[in-house]
A and B are shown apart, each in its own frame.
Chain A
Amino acid sequence: MAATKDIVARCEALFEDLNFESARAWKAAEDGRKVIGYLPVYVPREIIHAGGMLPLGVLGGGDRLEVIHGDAYYQSYICRIPRSTVELGVTKRLDFVDGMLFPSTCDVIRNLSGMWKLMFPEVYTRYVDVPQNFDDELGGAFFRQEMEELKEGLEGVAGRKITDDAIRESIAVYNENRRLVRELYAFRAKQPWKTPSAEVYLVVRAGMVLPIEEHNQLIRDYLAAADAEDRPMRDNCRIVLTGTFCEQPPLNLIKSLELAGCYVVDDDLLLITRWLLDDVPTEGDPLGNLARAFLHNSESTSAKYVDDEAEKGRYLVRAVKETGAEGVIFAAPSFCDPALLDRPMLQNELKANNIPYIAFKYAENSGQMQPIREQAGTFADSIKLWSAA
């Protein structure tokens, strides 16, 4: 059995590779293979997979990419992920990508789809809209049609039809991935000292670049290795990390939280892997099933439009209760509208439930962790020493 350190080392190498060599190698292994990039937060990857193509998560440039060209495209009050994504594009790091999907995360990501069309006209580029109405007849029909059009566009890239049977098979494979990620998260919530959050992040992040079948095996291997290894339990408090669903925090930030005395027992990092909460049915109309899962079986995080104001923040309270967390850390990228506009409402819900929290902002290239360690460290101390429990 592989040790966690070997599995994590492989994941870290994938994470650090800004040239996406593993995806390039996958594409080069067989003639005619195609790669479709997507930005956070949610796209139905099953349709890409059903077309025999590789879905590739493009999550910005992190803290290792110097943004030179990207800054020229955006005002100073815009977050960093679109800048570093433009940088990845203009420096030809994404020159092997045949299509790019820009989900309906915020105006910035939506507008990036238009810019991408102008900058890379040879690349299939699509803005993937999602419903803001949760009625099957309205929002459901709209999203099904949106996915139908996406499927047709992807067929053009793949050069073949994407059949309903193929989508059903892909849904089954992604259901397995969702189950495994849920299992990994449940394992961490139970024994966080055996699965450090930075490791969990790297293992899940590997799924952004690896074929899904390979990622499923990787999670199984990691879970088995983590379970078998004996790691000392630290007297840390347990927190839920929220606001991190789009621009990803630097790996050092996640490590710093744990070093400061906080076990992360739930988070909204790489939310695409847990956007749908349960298995999507593999019988019947596959696009209809995906649409219904989005409407009725996806979490009401800040990354999703929530039409019922009373529902705001309930998921966060549920996450705290289900994982036995003792507090919440709001970490949002600077200028992230979805995370920062929701924050006061979420905090009100936490206040009403007597759940302590702290809040700070970051950028994907934040380098100075001392203030974050200080805030997280004092938060951990206040929970450990002064909470009523």
Chain B
Amino acid sequence: MTITAGIDVGTGAVKAVLYEIVDGTAKRLAESLYRIRQRDPMQLAAEAYDTCLEKAGLTRDDVAYVATTGEGETIPFATGHFYSMTTHARGAIEMEPEARAVLDVGALHGRAIVIDERGKVLNYKMTSQCASGSGQFLENIARYLGIAQDEIGTLSQQADDPEKVSGICAVLAETDVINMVSRGITAPNILKGIHLSMAGRLVKLLKAIGAGNGSVVMVTGGLALDGGLVAALSEDAKEQNVEVIFRSDPDSPYAGAMGAAIWGAFRHEKLAKLGQLAMAS
């Protein structure tokens, strides 16, 4: 039995998970998610990790491999670090073995990844530096509209006449939204318009890397739980003739941390075979 931890330091939140691996089968023991507001992400990572250990009744000494991902390279107690694309791909396969593409939509950017059945990254494309199409942008708009984040998806799906916003620039999009508010456009129609605009950009990424032919796309990252966005993705894919099936999971925000923990277990075993076991401090 091997205990491994995965810690994903994202732009909007830190996620940690704890896994027990027995004969190649991974069982999740605990998870925790801390939003990054004005707190030090490194401190939050330690807290998220310790929370998991506490939930599972374990100590740091019980953990064979602490794997970090995202912006977690500098976490001092990590055994190894994996690039976020690698971990989201593995996390997606863990949640949905049929997935052959991943759409990772986080606070900062969106990324489309084509994977094989082992979770190996075959191709990818991500949004440019512009913030439109990111969770941070959506969060800002919700704040302007006075809407709680968990209401966004439900309201968006109530839209009857969505107004599309600029898909190029977050600044222009915010101006669009201000104009819509002054024109009396309802919040559901505004939110759905934003979702469709984001979906347009994300589906283009999938198209660019050759996702299609009815393949399953696992949506990961913080926005995977936004039902409005997932619905808009399906609508836009149909419009752009991209044949994919979008799936999301309550664990989607943890995909990176899950993938890190599972790859950590793989590395632990490999290093043990090579006699080069790295010791978690």
Contact = CB atoms under 8 A, between A and B. Distances in A.
Question: Do the two chains belong together in a single complex?
Answer: yes
Interface of A: 232-236, 259-261, 374, 377-378, 380-381, 384-386, 389
B271 interface: yes
B148 interface: no
Contacts of B73: 259-261
B82 interface: yes
Interface residues of B, number: 25
A236 B276 CA distance: 11
B160 to A, nearest CB: 41
A233 B278 contact: yes
Given A260-B73, A261-B81, A378-B121, A233 B279 contact: yes
B79 interface: yes
Contacts of A261: 73, 80-83
A234 to B, nearest CB: 6
Nearest to A261: B81
Contacts of B86: 378, 381, 385
A380 B281 CA distance: 21
Contact of A384 (B74, B76, B267): B267
B9 to A, nearest CB: 13
Interface in B68-104: 73-74, 76-83, 85-86
A235 B274 contact: no
A364 B267 CA distance: 35
Contact of A235 (B76, B85, B271): B271
Contact of B83 (A232, A233, A235, A381): A381
B79 A259 contact: no
Contacts of A235: 65, 79-80, 267, 271, 278
Contacts of B266: 385
B130 to A, nearest CB: 15
Contacts of A378: 83, 85-86, 121
A84 B196 CA distance: 49
19 contacts: A232-B76, A233-B278, A233-B279, A234-B78, A234-B79, A234-B80, A235-B267, A235-B278, A259-B73, A260-B81, A260-B83, A374-B83, A378-B86, A378-B121, A381-B86, A384-B82, A385-B266, A385-B267, A389-B274
Nearest to B273: A389
Contacts of A386: 120
B263 interface: yes
Contacts of B74: 259
Contacts of B281: 232
A228 B136 CA distance: 46
Contacts of A389: 274
Interface in B232-281: 263, 266-267, 270-271, 274, 278-281
Nearest to A233: B278
A75 to B, nearest CB: 30
A386 B120 CA distance: 8
B278 to A, nearest CB: 4
Contacts of A236: 80
Contacts of A385: 86, 120, 263, 266-267
A262 B56 CA distance: 32
7 closest cross-chain pairs (CB), A and B: A235-B80, A377-B83, A232-B281, A259-B73, A381-B86, A235-B278, A233-B278
Contacts of B79: 234-235
Contacts of B83: 260-261, 374, 377-378, 380-381
Contacts of B280: 232
Contact of A234 (B120, B121, B270, B278): B278
A36 B116 CA distance: 59
A111 B274 CA distance: 52
A389 B271 CA distance: 10
Nearest to B78: A234
A386 B266 CA distance: 11
Contacts of B78: 234
A234 B82 CA distance: 12
A380 B121 CA distance: 13
A232 B80 CA distance: 11
B151 to A, nearest CB: 33
Given A234-B80, A384-B270, 12 more contacts: A232-B281, A234-B78, A234-B79, A235-B267, A259-B81, A260-B81, A261-B73, A378-B86, A380-B83, A381-B82, A384-B82, A385-B267
Contacts of B76: 232
A378 B76 CA distance: 21
A232 B279 contact: yes
Contacts of B65: 235
Nearest to A256: B73
A377 B81 CA distance: 9
A384 B85 contact: no
Contacts of B271: 235
Contacts of A380: 83
Contacts of A232: 76-77, 279-281
A198 to B, nearest CB: 13
Contacts of B267: 235, 384-385
B112 to A, nearest CB: 15
A125 B8 CA distance: 55
A235 to B, nearest CB: 3
Interface string B12-37: 00000000000000000000000000
Contacts of B274: 389
Nearest to A384: B267
A380 B279 CA distance: 19
Nearest to B81: A261
Interface in B110-150: 120-121
B80 A384 contact: yes
Contacts of B77: 232
A374 B109 CA distance: 14
A12 to B, nearest CB: 18
Contacts of A384: 80, 82, 267, 270
A44 to B, nearest CB: 41
